[in-house]
Chain A
Amino acid sequence: MRKRKLADRLLFGYVWLIIAWLFLPIAVMIAFGFNDTQSKSNVSWQGFTFKWWGRLDEYPDLTDAMINSIQLAVICVVITTVLGTLMGLALGRYRFKGQGATNLIMFAAISSPELVMGASLLSLFVSTGVDMGFTTALIAHVLFCLSFVAITVRARVVGLDPSLEEAARDLGASTWTTFWRITFPMILPGVVAGALLAFALSIDDFVITQFTSGAMQTFPLWIWGATRIGVPPQVNILGTLIFAVGVAIAVINSVTARRRT
């Protein structure tokens, strides 16, 4: 019995060790937003300062890149949530011919390497002479987020109790009314989870965006470009702000999920 306790305790320590490792670069990122660095490069610790927080907009192209990232993510979320919810409903609710093929394509979209997806889209755009920019990047973002939303919604649809919809119909509700009053509210948590996932995937994406965005820059692309000449502290601050928003959303989501069940 005592030996068993020791093993458990070791395992527990290990779990926290890994969690600490996962957070290590995050801590560095947050700390270096307060680094009193003298040059543009921001590698060694030179003292604490708040000055960069007041000079967040020092690099206009960085600000533009951030705005591009947010716009791209928001529009991508709107499109993928609508299309993905419809797909999730079809896949979770109905049996139909072509279901296997749809599953296979979704599987391919999730599992093909981003590099190959980006490269093939670039081949398409180059071959057809399409100008690359915001729209082409958006097409790519919807492509790799869509399956995730569809699967998240499908899981929720499969878990629904069909008798609730039958009851609504027995009480004279039309298909449309049944959907908006009964089905939609019940799958909403899945839809919201899918939308959040799509937002996170889109705003973080680097590889596919690099291949499909032409001259347009997003936040990750700007950082990649800056690694050669030095990453300014403003990047760390923007990263910290995104992290804070992410944490807030995650906490709100888990608190509301707990209240629901």
Chain B
Amino acid sequence: MKRLTPYLLILPGGLWLAIFLVVPMVFMASVSTQEGNVVDGFTQTFNFANYADTLVLFQTQFLRSVGYGLAGTIIAIALAYPIAYWIAFKGGSRKSTYLLLVLLPFFVSFVLRTVSWKFLLADEGIVLAPLKASGLLPEDFHVLQTSVAVVGGLVYNYLPFMILPIYVALERVDPRSVEAAQDLYATRSAAFRKVVLPLSLPGVFAGVLMTFVPMTADYVNAGILGGPQNTMIGNIIQTKYLVNNDYPSAAALSFTLMAAMLVGIFAYAKALGTENVLEAAAR
């Protein structure tokens, strides 16, 4: 009985995860090689051409998504690192208050926050209209419907997922190791480069994992802040599934997207150990 306890504890949740994570993937794999349409129904024909066809057709959106994801991730690292550093080393007794301030905006619905950005950045909105009226910006200047708006929205929406893991990694750095480096005549910048930075890299890696994947698969930001020239692969998949009911090619696209990400994720997990990444993700 004692030996069975962990299995009994894990069973209900484990089954839920296995059934609704693994089984649907199998169904999606099956759907991705089917042929047909909504009216006549779909039949399994092992039509692997779905993959080649959609990849050729939507390679622009695929590349754009990866590009936006990369740009967003890099900007997020640049913005997040100094904040995480300051909270971890200079936050003192107010650390948790600062973390709370960083997280509070995220109590507001993701979609609603993005819509608010749309108001803020609108051509005649509360930011651009006065600037244009005072002649600081030309009349035809606009931010919405550009890649800047989409990448900006991505960075905004996923920044905390970069700040938190970096903070967790920096928090674990013992300040005494920095002092030791300085006692050994390291300058401030050398101590940072040779001690703090390497120790914080697992946090950066976790942050990349937590931001690059959802950014690349995101379609809300491109849908609300971008225009027809900024559609990402997520927008295509979403439209194919929910508007056109073109399940086979949508499934093929989803699978290609996931395959690309899984390769990255497993390389990461292998390099870091899943335990570390999971812990950083949970905080």
| A binding-site residues for B, Cβ under 8 Å | 4, 8, 11-12, 14-15, 18-19, 21-26, 28-29, 32, 42-45, 83-84, 86-87, 89-91, 93-94, 96, 98, 102-117, 119-124, 126-128, 139-140, 142-143, 146-148, 150-152, 155, 200, 203-204, 206-207, 210-211, 219-220, 223-224, 227, 231, 235-236, 239, 242-243, 245-247, 250, 254
Contact = CB atoms under 8 A, between A and B. Distances in A.
Contacts of A126: 31, 247
Given A22-B102, A96-B7, A108 B220 contact: no
A11 B86 contact: yes
B87 A127 contact: no
Interface in B116-161: 116-120, 122, 124-126, 129, 156, 159
Contacts of A24: 120
**Number of chain B interface residues as a range:** 35 or more
B224 interface: yes
Contacts of A44: 122, 124-126, 129
B170 interface: no
Contacts of A8: 90
Chain A interface SS verdict (over half): helix
B222 interface: no
A87 B120 contact: no
B6 A139 contact: no
Contacts of A86: 9-10, 12-13
A120 B217 contact: no
B278 interface: yes
B82 interface: yes
A242 B108 contact: yes
Contacts of B129: 44
A94 B232 CA distance: 44
Interface stretch (B17-25, B45-53, B56-64): B17-25
Contacts, number: 256
21 contacts: A14-B83, A25-B113, A26-B113, A28-B120, A44-B129, A91-B10, A98-B7, A104-B274, A111-B209, A111-B281, A114-B214, A115-B238, A115-B257, A117-B24, A123-B28, A124-B27, A146-B16, A151-B281, A220-B109, A224-B223, A254-B100
A152 B283 CA distance: 8
Contacts of A42: 119
Contacts of B250: 119
B217 A15 contact: no
A90 B105 contact: no
B115 A119 contact: no
A206 B110 contact: yes
A221 to B, nearest CB: 8
A102 to B, nearest CB: 6
A83 B13 contact: yes
Contacts of B242: 210-211
A106 B12 contact: no
B28 A22 contact: no
A105 B21 contact: yes
A200 B156 CA distance: 18
Contacts of A151: 278-279, 281-282
Contacts of A15: 82-83, 86-87, 98
A1 to B, nearest CB: 11
Contacts of A128: 27
Contacts of A247: 104, 107
Given A44-B125, A107-B269, A223-B111, A116 B254 contact: yes
Contact of A127 (B10, B31, B109): B31
A224 to B, nearest CB: 5
B267 to A, nearest CB: 12
A209 to B, nearest CB: 10
B113 to A, nearest CB: 5
B79 interface: yes
B194 interface: no
Closest 9 interchain pairs by CB? A246-B107, A25-B116, A113-B217, A90-B9, A120-B24, A94-B6, A83-B13, A151-B282, A124-B24
Given A8-B90, A150-B13, A111 B28 contact: no
Contacts of A109: 17, 21
B123 to A, nearest CB: 10
Contact of A219 (B109, B122, B188, B251): B109
Given A12-B90, A32-B119, A224-B111, A90 B10 contact: yes
Interface in B1-44: 5-7, 9-10, 12-14, 16-18, 20-25, 27-28, 30-31
Nearest to B90: A8
A28 B121 CA distance: 11
A150 B275 CA distance: 13
B13 A107 contact: no
Contact of B27 (A19, A120, A227): A120
B271 interface: no
Contact of B10 (A87, A120, A219, A246): A87
Contacts of A148: 282
